[in-house]
């Protein structure tokens, strides 16, 4: 196989053809595979938090806790939901720059900022939860559960973001070297 | 550009999107996801297409950026040999294509982008413009990549 024949082989490859209708469907948000997954996760988490907000007043004695503790808890939940929304928007937007290298560098900067926001909002949410449950201190097991859940979440988030950032860095480096 | 014109262009050039998906993703499902993602990003990026370059040139930039920026799940470790299995019989064109794609799949993301653009017949200047590296660097890297592919395909 000579070098030019590589180009011949490349051009000779028969690719499956999508109909115009199928292509049209792909231009909408609803068909986007990543957005679909994030949207589903966002809806599940949001429903879970709303259910929690409805029942916490009775289950965790919200009525016996100071008003500020209730407010802080709701703020914590809102932060988690807001974080999901930001993630959804970020996944949707890939700002195309003049070159692939510039696009990847801009995306890396954006991912780094969001990673910080993501971890910061989770820590803040954890702090809000802790504040609520320590405002009347008779629920040690709940406290322990919250701490464990948030540590696990933090480790998971850290790992996900570290891998994403590493993957983008490697892609940029592969163009440079 | 309205949606009808856009879809007409995409329909004409969808072969290149399929090739990019095949190079950058391993499973059928991931390739289908990437294909949708590229079409979605292209449509979202249409306002940024000023018509200063050819549609295909702009499309390479968006499609390759989307493929390289997308998050991929870690693949199981694959150990490649230095050469692809050599057969004494003259391979059929489909086998040769398969061998070529297997060889290209072993390259890193950046090299895949460069060789794709080269195989599509773009000049070094166009490749430099799309990728954002210098023409000289494109030349050096492409020589390295071509040698590697020659070795993998047993080309003397």
Q: Please check whether residue A23 touches B, CB under 8 A.
A: yes
A168 CB-near residues (< 8 Å, 6+ apart): A104, A107, A108, A111, B69
| Whether residue B117 is found in the same domain as residue B57 | no
pLDDT digits (tens, 9 = 90+) for A113-134: 888 888 888 888 888 888 887 7
Residues B50, B104 within the same domain: no
- Token pair 């047993």 is found at B154
Window A:36-95, CB contacts with B under 8 Å: 92-94
Q: Which DSSP letter does residue A61 get?
A: T
Considering the domain architecture, whether residues B70 and B1 belong to the same structural domain is answered as yes
More confident residue, A14 or B64: B64
- Residue A78, pLDDT > 90, answer no
Indicate left, alpha or beta for A160 from its phi (over 0: left) and psi (-120 to 50: alpha).
alpha
With contact defined as beta carbons under 8 Å apart, do B65 and A96 qualify?
Answer: yes
**Residue A85 placed within a domain:** yes
Residues B67 and B8 in one domain: yes
Token digits for A142?
């709940």
For A106, B17, B152, the CA distances from B96, given in Å and listed in that order, are 38, 20, 12
CB burial string A159-168: b at 16+ within 10 A, e below: eebeebeebb
Q: Is pLDDT above 90 for A135?
A: no
* Range from A13-22, A105-114, B81-90 carrying the lowest mean pLDDT: B81-90
Q: Does residue B53 belong to the interface with chain A, where contact is any CB pair within 8 Å? A: no
The residue among A5, A50, A41 whose CA lies nearest residue B149 is: A5
Domain residues for the domain of B104 are: 79-156
Average pLDDT over residues A65-76: 84
The verdict on B83 and B47 lying in the same domain is no
The boundaries of the domain holding residue A80 are 30-176
Whether residue A20 is contained in a domain is answered as no
Domain-located, residue A19 = no
Higher pLDDT, B130 or A76: B130
Number of domains in chain A: 1
CATH number of the domain bearing residue B120: 1.10.10.10
**Predicted complex ipTM exceeds 0.90:** no
Give mean pLDDT, residues A8-19. Answer: 85
Residue at a domain's end among B49, B76, B103: B76
Q: What is the pLDDT of residue B2?
A: 86
Q: Which residues of B touch A175 (CB under 8 A)?
A: 109-110, 113, 131-133
Per-residue pLDDT tens digits for A136-176: 666 677 778 878 888 888 888 889 889 989 999 999 999 98
Q: Say whether both B119 and B133 belong to one domain.
A: yes
Are B87 and B154 found together in one domain?
Answer: yes
Instruction: Tell me: do B155 and B83 sit in the same domain.
Output: yes
Residues B119 and B66 in one domain: no
- Which one of B76, B110, B134 terminates a domain? B76
Q: Which residues of B touch A23 (CB under 8 A)?
A: 7, 10-11, 14, 39
CA dist A150 and A138 (Å) reads: 20
Whether the per-residue pLDDT at A58 is higher than 80: the answer is no
* Number of folded domains that form chain B: 2
Instruction: Classify the phi-psi angles of A25: left when phi > 0, otherwise alpha if psi is within -120 to 50, otherwise beta.
Output: alpha
Q: What pLDDT does residue B54 have?
A: 85
> What pLDDT is stored for residue B92 in this prediction?
61
Among residues of chain A, what percentage have pLDDT more than 90? Answer: 16
CB of B142 less than 8 A from some CB of A: no
Q: Domain check: are B4 and B70 in the same one?
A: yes
Domain membership of residue A14 (yes or no) is no
Asked whether residue B10 falls in the same domain as residue B69, the answer is yes
Minimal Cα–Cα distance from A146 to chain B, Å? 29
B117 and B136 both lie in a single domain: yes
Q: Is residue A174 within 8 Å of residue B108, measured between CB atoms?
A: yes
Q: Please report residues of B whose CB lies closer than 8 A to that of A11.
A: 119
Query: What's the rounded mean pLDDT across residues A55-64?
Result: 76
- pLDDT beneath 50: ranges in chain B: 77, 79
Q: Is the pTM of this model over 0.80?
A: yes
Say what the pLDDT of residue B91 is: 55
According to the model, what pLDDT value does residue B15 have? 92
Choose the final residue of a domain: B52, B76, B100.
B76
- pLDDT at position B38: 94
Tell me if A93 is assigned to some domain: yes
* In chain A, beta strands by DSSP E: none
Identify whether A54 is part of a domain: yes
CATH of residue B14's domain is 1.10.1740.10
- Residue ranges of alpha helices (H) inside B85-156 are 93-105, 109-119, 124-131, 135-152
- A38 domain residue, yes or no: yes
Which pLDDT score is estimated for A157?
84
């Amino acid at each position: 196989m000579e070098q030019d024949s590589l180009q011949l082989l490349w051009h000779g490859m028969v690719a499956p053809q999508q109909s115009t209708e199928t292509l049209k469907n792909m231009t909408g948000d609803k068909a986007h595979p990543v957005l679909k997954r994030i949207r589903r996760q966002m809806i599940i988490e949001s429903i879970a938090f709303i259910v929690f907000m409805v029942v916490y007043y009775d289950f965790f004695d919200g009525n016996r806790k100071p008003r500020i503790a209730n407010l802080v808890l709701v703020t914590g939940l809102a932060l988690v939901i807001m974080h999901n929304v930001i993630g959804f928007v970020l996944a949707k937007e890939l700002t195309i720059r003049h070159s692939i290298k510039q696009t990847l560098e801009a995306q890396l900067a954006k991912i780094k900022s969001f990673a910080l926001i993501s971890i910061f909002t989770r820590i803040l949410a954890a702090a809000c939860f802790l504040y609520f449950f320590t405002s009347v201190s008779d629920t040690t097991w709940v406290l322990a559960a919250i701490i464990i859940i948030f540590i696990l979440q933090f480790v998971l988030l850290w790992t996900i973001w570290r891998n994403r950032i590493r993957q983008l860095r490697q892609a940029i480096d592969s163009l440079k070297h | 550009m309205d949606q009808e014109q856009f879809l007409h262009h995409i329909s004409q050039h969808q072969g290149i999107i399929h090739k990019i998906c095949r190079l950058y993703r391993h499973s059928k499902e991931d390739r289908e996801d990437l294909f949708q993602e590229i079409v979605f990003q292209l449509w979202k990026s249409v306002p940024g297409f000023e018509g200063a370059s050819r549609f295909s040139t702009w499309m390479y930039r968006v499609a390759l950026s989307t493929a390289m920026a997308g998050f991929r799940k870690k693949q199981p470790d694959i150990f490649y040999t230095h050469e692809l299995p050599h057969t004494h019989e003259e391979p059929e064109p489909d086998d040769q294509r398969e061998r070529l794609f297997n060889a290209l799949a072993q390259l890193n993301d950046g090299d895949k982008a460069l060789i794709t653009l080269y195989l599509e017949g773009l000049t070094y200047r166009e490749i430099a413009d799309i990728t954002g590296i210098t023409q000289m660097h494109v030349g050096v890297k492409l020589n390295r990549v071509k040698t590697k592919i020659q070795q993998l395909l047993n080309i003397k």
